[in-house]
Amino acid sequence: MRAVAFLALKDLRLLLRDRAAAFFTFVFPLAIALFFGYVFSGTSSEPLHVAAFVEQASPAASLLMKALDEDGGFKVTVIDSRDAGEQLVRRGDAVALLVVPSTYAEGLDGVFSGGGAKLGLVVDPSRRAEGAMLVGKIHEVAFRTVFAGIGDPVQFARVLDRMEESLKASDLSFTDRLAIRTALSRARTMSAKGADSSSTTKPQSIADWKPVTVEIAELSMRPGVPANTFAISFMQGIAWALFGAVLSFGSGIAEERQRGTLVRLLVSPMSPNQILMGKALACFVTCLMTEWMLICFGVFLFRVEVSSWPLMVAVTLVTAFGFSGIMMLLAAGFRTQGGAQGAGRAVLLVLAMIGGGTVPIVFMPPFLRIASNLSPFKWAVMAAEGATWRSWGMSEMLIPLAVLAAIGVFGLTVGTALVRRSI
Amino acid sequence: MAHGAPSHAMPSAIRIRDVYKSYGALQALGGVSLEIEQGEIFGLLGPNGAGKSTAIALCTGQIARDSGSIDIGDAGSPRAARARALIGLAPQQIALYDELTARENLIFLARVHGMPNPPHRADELLDMVGLLPRARDRVGTFSGGMQRRLNLAAALVHNPTAIFLDEPTAGVDPQSRTAILEVVMRLAAEGRTVIYTTHYMEEAQRICSRVAIMDRGRVLAIGTVPELVATHGGESVVTVDSVAGQHRVRTREPLREIERALAEGGATAVRIEQPDLEMVFLSLTGRRLRD
């Protein structure tokens, strides 16, 4: 058994020394994951796309929408329901969903009297930085709209009414109340005469004062819906990682044969079965390494959420086993390195593509979705998605895991027998 | 290395008895029998297709025979685990990993063979073939001669007693050839058995204690080089140049012919062409070795 491990280690070392093979096994899948993740999330210097849901139409809400749209930093799409807005955020079509509650206009009336307007913001957790920028922008725009409202004598009169009501309810001394009431009365007179609103008394701590309160909520993981585009693209990346590993080791037997080292191994105390086990072990370890590299990148840098770590461990183990079987079938099919790599690339490429390696299966047309069942990559990607954004339990995971395990058993049994016959 | 007859006191290191092997309709070996003694350097000579590589593949357990028997020492069939530990093979093709260093190649093979302290063993062998200064260089950067030397070292990682060297000096520079031949003679001196195939007659004449001439899957003759030359080499050719012209004579007693020419007088130059292994080969197969 130690000899098998030494053979696998040697193969891993050879893989790392072969720059092209190492690139396609480790770097290419990551590049694919990042590429598709960014492509789908629409990260660019374009205005931030914000979905907005106005619970109850009002002049104040319209003013806010208009101001946001005219800001230049936003592209606002007003939608009919909160759910539709959240879907846009989940799909990466919008950075955030701005919820303008039905109390917004009323809240603005109490902006100087302890109440204040509130806005809701639902952001994509993977795009918090853009969310924070959005909050700043909303404050800026809201500030402008509030003071625009003060220029309107009718709205300003309502603001003053609310302030006087608050004053009545307060426990201030008689002299304080008198002084404030006098000031409010003067402001009402000035507003009625169209006087400059700059004379309005400003709160003492103006630096801390905000015209609206923005309540931020991160979009919650909903079973069956990816939290962000990277949750999809990193699972796609796993397909390409498996593709690279299978291709690298599938031609390994042919390579050993061509360079003559297979003869040396056959003359050694290792049995042919042990030699093939060494090859399969190297492929298995490489599959695991690349899968976990992508998962770690996704989780720690791109906020991909794993719904069940034990299931993810099971998925990666079974997937690596299944693709080791595919590697053995590839090794059995071709006697030359060129043949194994050429034909392997052609066949695996098609399988990876219809298996969700490029276009996610959820976006595929129905006929392609059916065809994808023939691709082992589909089951690997689906299982990985099951342990992440699909939030599957063990019962849902059984089918993809069983398919992958069956592929592994079939590939290793039949492939090993065929390779043994050829050596 | 002496070219004497095998000492029958020595035990047989390799016994091949009436072995047949066919690939489909093609008979690669047709009833080959050989008995090779311990400590011998045994030359297998023959043109391409003679069956040398098949014989080596059978003796090293790479393929199974159709009939007959092969025993490696007292360990039995070369496919048995015990026998495998005794067999070393340097294939004709350089069988090394170009991407690994010389040392890594040998360490890997030593580990596969379960040798204790593989790094130490690797350094020992690198020193033996004169490659220790290049131990940490990748094999892909080596010259053909250096790769051949490492190919030989790789066959020796597990201290085998029956060593099969298939054309170990093919296409190498004189320095590497000398180094390889020295190692081969040293192995024989240590009591190991070396089975050696080559296209270079002078090499076989220089180092082989016995030689088997093969052609079309059969062994045509076995013996020491002088025995084979005496039996199958044919006559020497004596050429005498004189004022009367050139005179060529085929004879088994060239010295007597020269004496006669000198006694007659008038000879200006005398040349003797003695039969060699090449002549033996030609007379046995009707072809030159490199045909």
**Complex ipTM:** 0.80
Same domain, B260 and B200: no
pLDDT in tens, B182-193: 999 999 999 999
Range among A69-83, A314-328, B45-59 rated most confident:
A314-328
Same domain, B169 and B225: yes
H or E element, residue A213: strand A212-218
Contact B95 A269 (CB under 8 A): no
- Using DSSP's 3-state secondary structure scheme, residue A88 falls into helix
The Cα B43–Cα A121 span in angstroms is 87
Q: Confirm whether B24 is domain-assigned.
A: yes
Contact B112 A270 (CB under 8 A): yes
CB burial of residue A169 (10 Å; 0-12, 13-18, 19+): exposed
Arithmetic mean of pLDDT, B242-252: 82
Same domain, B22 and B72: yes
Percent of chain A with pLDDT over 90: 23
- All structural domains of chain A: 2-39+227-422 (no CATH), 44-218 (3.40.1710)
Residues B189/B182, Cβ–Cβ less than 8 Å: no
pLDDT in tens, B229-240: 888 877 888 888
Q: Is any Cβ of chain B less than 8 angstroms from the Cβ of A13?
A: yes
The nearest CA of chain A is from the CA of B99 a distance in Å of: 6
The Cα B21–Cα A224 span in angstroms is 64
- Comparing CA positions, the residue from A71, A70, A118 lying closest to residue A98 is A118
Tell me the CATH number at B26.
3.40.50.300
Arithmetic mean of pLDDT, A263-280: 89
Arithmetic mean of pLDDT, A328-333: 89
Same domain, B17 and B54: yes
pLDDT at B2: 37
pLDDT at B193: 95
Phi, psi (deg, nearest 5) at residue A269: -65, -10
Same domain, B168 and B201: yes
* Residue of chain B whose Cα is closest to the Cα of A2: B112
Contact A259 B113 (CB under 8 A): no
**Which residues of chain A make contact with B108, given a CB cutoff of 8 A?**
6, 10
Q: Confirm whether B36 is domain-assigned.
A: yes
Q: Is any Cβ of chain B less than 8 angstroms from the Cβ of A259?
A: yes
Same domain, B177 and B215: yes
**Which residues of chain A make contact with B91, given a CB cutoff of 8 A?**
260, 263-264
Least confident segment among A43-47, B41-45, B116-120, B237-241: A43-47
- Residue A312 is encoded by which pair of tokens? 């993810």
Q: Confirm whether B145 is domain-assigned.
A: no
Average pLDDT, chain B: 88
Strand segments, DSSP code E, in chain B are 12-23, 26-37, 41-45, 67-72, 87-90, 162-166, 193-197, 210-215, 218-223, 236-242, 245-251, 267-273
Q: Is any Cβ of chain B less than 8 angstroms from the Cβ of A422?
A: no
Residues B129/B75, Cβ–Cβ less than 8 Å: no
H or E element, residue A120: strand A117-123
3-state helix, strand, coil in chain B (%, to 5): 35, 30, 35
Sign of CA dihedral A307, A313, A316, A322: negative
Q: Is any Cβ of chain B less than 8 angstroms from the Cβ of A22?
A: no
Residue B5 has pLDDT above 50, yes or no: no
Q: Is any Cβ of chain B less than 8 angstroms from the Cβ of A7?
A: yes
Range of the domain at B68: 12-86+160-230
Contact B111 A2 (CB under 8 A): yes
Arithmetic mean of pLDDT, A232-244: 90
Same domain, B226 and B250: no
Range among A164-173, A232-241, A331-340, B2-11 rated most confident:
A232-241
Mutate to test the interface with B, among A268, A273, A275 (most CBs of B within 10 A): A268
The larger pLDDT score, comparing residue A72 to residue A234, is at A234
> Which residues on neighbouring strands pair with residue B112, listed in sequence order?
none
Residue B149 has pLDDT above 70, yes or no: yes
What domain count does chain B have? 2
Q: Confirm whether B64 is domain-assigned.
A: yes
pLDDT at B16: 94
Can you give the C-alpha Rg of chain A in angstroms?
A: 31
Q: Confirm whether B6 is domain-assigned.
A: no
Nearest to A267 among B84, B96, B108 (CB): B84
Contact B108 A10 (CB under 8 A): yes
Arithmetic mean of pLDDT, A228-252: 88
The nearest CA of chain A is from the CA of B149 a distance in Å of: 15
Instruction: Read off the pLDDT band of A46 (50, 70, 90).
Output: low
Arithmetic mean of pLDDT, A310-338: 92
The nearest CA of chain B is from the CA of A14 a distance in Å of: 6
Same domain, B266 and B165: no
Instruction: Read off the pLDDT band of A77 (50, 70, 90).
Output: confident
Give the residue numbers in B contacting A (CB under 8 Å), as ranges: 60-62, 81, 84-85, 87-89, 91, 93-100, 104, 108-109, 111-114, 154
Residue A259 has pLDDT above 90, yes or no: no
Q: Is any Cβ of chain B less than 8 angstroms from the Cβ of A266?
A: yes
CB burial of residue A201 (10 Å; 0-12, 13-18, 19+): exposed
Q: Confirm whether B142 is domain-assigned.
A: no
Residue A42 has pLDDT above 60, yes or no: no
Instruction: Read off the pLDDT band of A359 (50, 70, 90).
Output: confident
* Torsion on CA atoms A282, B151, B139, A260, rounded to nearest 10: -50
Q: Which residues, in sequence order, are CB contacts of A182 under 8 Å at separation 6+?
A: none
Mutate to test the interface with A, among B53, B97, B137, B138 (most CBs of A within 10 A): B97
Arithmetic mean of pLDDT, A50-57: 87
Mutate to test the interface with A, among B60, B99, B112 (most CBs of A within 10 A): B112
* Residue of chain A whose Cα is closest to the Cα of B88: A267
**Residues recorded for chain A:** 423
Arithmetic mean of pLDDT, A48-77: 82
* Residue of chain B whose Cα is closest to the Cα of A10: B108
The nearest CA of chain A is from the CA of B118 a distance in Å of: 12
pLDDT at A220: 59
The larger pLDDT score, comparing residue A152 to residue B119, is at B119
Arithmetic mean of pLDDT, A327-339: 86
Q: Which residues, in sequence order, are CB contacts of B101 under 8 Å at separation 6+?
A: B135, B136, B137, B138, B139
> Which residues on neighbouring strands pair with residue A76, listed in sequence order?
A50
How many residue pairs from chains A and B have C-beta atoms closer than 8 A? Answer: 65
Same domain, B214 and B268: no
pLDDT at A198: 46
- Long-range own/partner contacts, residues B256-262 (CB < 8 A, 24 or more apart): none
Residue B28 has pLDDT above 80, yes or no: yes
pLDDT in tens, A374-407: 999 999 999 999 999 888 889 999 999 999 999 9
- Among candidate residues B230, B254, B282, the one where a domain is terminated: B230
**Which residues of chain A make contact with B109, given a CB cutoff of 8 A?**
264, 268
Instruction: Read off the pLDDT band of A370 (50, 70, 90).
Output: confident
Contact A6 B112 (CB under 8 A): yes
Average pLDDT, chain A: 81
Instruction: Read off the pLDDT band of A203 (50, 70, 90).
Output: very low
Same domain, B55 and B25: yes
Q: Is any Cβ of chain B less than 8 angstroms from the Cβ of A201?
A: no
Phi, psi (deg, nearest 5) at residue A230: -70, -25
Q: Confirm whether B47 is domain-assigned.
A: yes
Question: In 10 A of CB A174, how many CB atoms?
Answer: 7
Residue A72 has pLDDT above 80, yes or no: no
**Which residues of chain B make contact with A259, given a CB cutoff of 8 A?**
93-98
**Which residues of chain B make contact with A266, given a CB cutoff of 8 A?**
61-62
Contact B89 A263 (CB under 8 A): yes
Burial B201-224 (b: 16+ CB within 10 A, else e): bebbbebbbbbbbbbebebbbbbb
Nearest to A260 among B87, B94, B111 (CB): B94
Sign of CA dihedral A317, A322, A324, A327: negative
Range among A35-44, A267-276, B53-62 rated most confident:
B53-62
- Among candidate residues B195, B210, B230, the one where a domain is terminated: B230
Same domain, B170 and B220: yes
The nearest CA of chain A is from the CA of B211 a distance in Å of: 24
Q: Is any Cβ of chain B less than 8 angstroms from the Cβ of A267?
A: yes
The Cα B150–Cα B190 span in angstroms is 20
Question: In 10 A of CB A185, how many CB atoms?
Answer: 12
Same domain, B164 and B268: no
Q: Confirm whether B288 is domain-assigned.
A: no
Residue A195 has pLDDT above 60, yes or no: no
Maximal CA-CA distance, chain B: 74
pLDDT in tens, A111-154: 555 556 788 888 876 666 677 777 777 777 777 666 665 656 67
pLDDT at A383: 94
Residue A341 has pLDDT above 60, yes or no: yes
The nearest CA of chain A is from the CA of B182 a distance in Å of: 23
Residue B63 has pLDDT above 80, yes or no: yes
pLDDT at A136: 77
Q: What is the DSSP string of A344-375?
A: HHHHHHHHHIIIIISS-GGGS-HHHHHHGGG-
The Cα A189–Cα A160 span in angstroms is 11
